[in-house]
Amino acid sequence: MIKKVWKPRSPKKLKHKVPESIKAAVKDKADHLIQSVLKPEHIKPPLKDTDFNYIVDIFSKWHQSYFYFCATYRCPSPNAISEFFEKRFARLEYTGSERFSLSYMRYTGQWIELFIDLTIDECLESIRSEPHYLP
């Protein structure tokens, strides 16, 4: 017979409050990366006579202690539920002392953390060069 045991729930991970100065600095650097590298590389004109989704915009936004890189897709198919949808593809989590953890969105919808304790410049370089962070 299997014996079941109750045990206490593990404590939640401590979330650090992000100072406004860091939020502004991260947003500026990320927007520069988006405008100079990500948009020219990934936003292409749509193919003629196709029903495939394509990227129309790449942007970034803060939500609590997380900073997200997002892409807006257009669905040209007449059977599409919605003409546009957004997908997050990279996430920076503020861990304190101007350091971040960097994750990517797996195809299953789960965030996979690849790097921990990076500076903002190291995170942006990883997003620029690593294949996991494609929109």
Cβ atoms within 10 Å, residue 84: 12
Residue given tokens 């394509």 in the structure block: 54
pLDDT tens readout for residues 38-85: 999 999 988 888 888 899 999 999 999 999 999 999 988 888 889 999
- Side-chain half-sphere of 30: how many Cα atoms within 13 Å? 22
pTM for this prediction: 0.84
- Rounded to 5°, the CA angle 78-82-85 comes to 125
DSSP state of 1: -
- The domain ranges of the chain are 20-133
Nearest to 57 by CA among 90, 78, 86: 86
